[in-house]
Amino acid sequence: MKYAYYPGCSLNATGIEYNISTKAVAKHLGLELWEIPEWNCCGASAAHNKDHLLALALPARNLAIAEKEDLDVAVPCAACYCRMKATQMEVRNSAEMKKTIEEVIEMEYSAKNEVKALLDVMVNHVGLDEIKEKVVKPLSGLKVASYYGCLLVRPPELGFDDPEDPQTMDNLVQTLGGTPVNWSFKVECCGAGHSTAKPAVGLQMIEAILRDAKENEADCIIVACPLCFLNLDMHQKDVTSGQDLNLPIFYFTELMGVAMGYSPKELGMEKHFVNPVPLLEKKEILRHPSARREEA
């Protein structure tokens, strides 16, 4: 199975462990990711505030490069995914917009290939059966709150799961041996860039999400977006009750990696602000199940 891979800017920077863990897990599952050469920023979180055409054209150049290779595109970042799907849909729906975008990017692009969220690729195309076969260190006893945020499941036309009560990540957690937590904030918005440009607003949104996870007795939260991660992990110390929360945040690919036997370091987890290793040690997940059985 081969996909064009669009990491996006954050996966080279603040979301670097998402990139590291994605590559490790994909290789382990025999999923070939062909990184789009010299990809550019898709403009997510900024371009749409300025100009509609710019917001469509920036993703289009990347999609046009992938289309030349006749590959569907796998996108780890929820914001990039949403912008790329928006471009694909506009090109498919309007011959006039297709022509305008092609003039702007000076390339042909007919949107014949698909844009897929990496989570969708892993769970629905590689498949939970394949993933289950590779689990050597099940996440036993780990209560995981799956946080989808906004742009993975909304607007509803773009998504691959229910916009109000999505289950893709919850099913993945179960497959990895963990316990999905039932909570109310799985599709609430983390405020994206507001934590920087409007901290008084952004931090309040972040705190509400963290507190709801905690109140529902989650040990940790998993996400599929580098901006959600940054907000919940790095800014956890900045919210009012942040010091007491101590709620580790994982990319779903990191927990897949852990369950498949990779060490936290191989997955880039030492880069987290909230250190997740003590939790994994407390739940005895990092040790091989056979070792656990012997001691028992």
Partner 1 sequence: MEEYNLNEALGNAKSFRQKIEEKSGVKLSDCYQCGKCAAGCPVAFAMDYTPRQIIRLLQVGLFEEALQAKSVWLCAACETCYARCPHGVGIPKIMEAVRIEADKKGIKPEKTLDLFTNLFLQSVEKYGRVHEMGMMVRYNILSLKPFQDATSAPKLFFTGKISPLPHKIKDNGAVKKIFENVRAKGGNV
Kindly list the residues in this chain that would bind partner 1 in the complex (CB under 8 A): 9-10, 12-14, 16, 38-41, 43, 45-54, 57-58, 61, 100, 103-106, 149-151, 154-156, 163-164, 187-189, 191-194, 196-201, 204-205, 234, 237, 270-271, 273
Least distance between partner 1 and beta carbon 104 (Å): 4
Residue number with CB closer to partner 1 (78 or 122): 78
User: Which two tokens mark 35?
Assistant: 């990184």
Least distance between partner 1 and beta carbon 251 (Å): 14
CA atoms within 13 A on the CB side of 231: 31
Residue number with CB closer to partner 1 (180 or 191): 191
Residue number with CB closer to partner 1 (204 or 292): 204
Residue number with CB closer to partner 1 (14 or 216): 14
Task: Report residue 3 CA to chain centroid gap.
Answer: 16
Dist. CA 18–CA 122, nearest whole Å: 14
Dist. CA 268–CA 215, nearest whole Å: 28
Least distance between partner 1 and beta carbon 38 (Å): 5
Residue number with CB closer to partner 1 (49 or 290): 49
Q: 111, 91 in Cβ contact below 8 A?
A: yes
Single out the residue of 30, 5, 156 nearest to residue 82, CA to CA: 156
Least distance between partner 1 and beta carbon 229 (Å): 11
Strands (E) located in the chain: 2-5, 32-35, 73-75, 115-117, 143-146, 179-180, 220-223, 249-251
DSSP class of residue 287? S
Least distance between partner 1 and beta carbon 205 (Å): 6
Phi then psi dihedrals of residue 295, to 5 deg:
-65, -35
Least distance between partner 1 and beta carbon 37 (Å): 9
Residue number with CB closer to partner 1 (127 or 193): 193
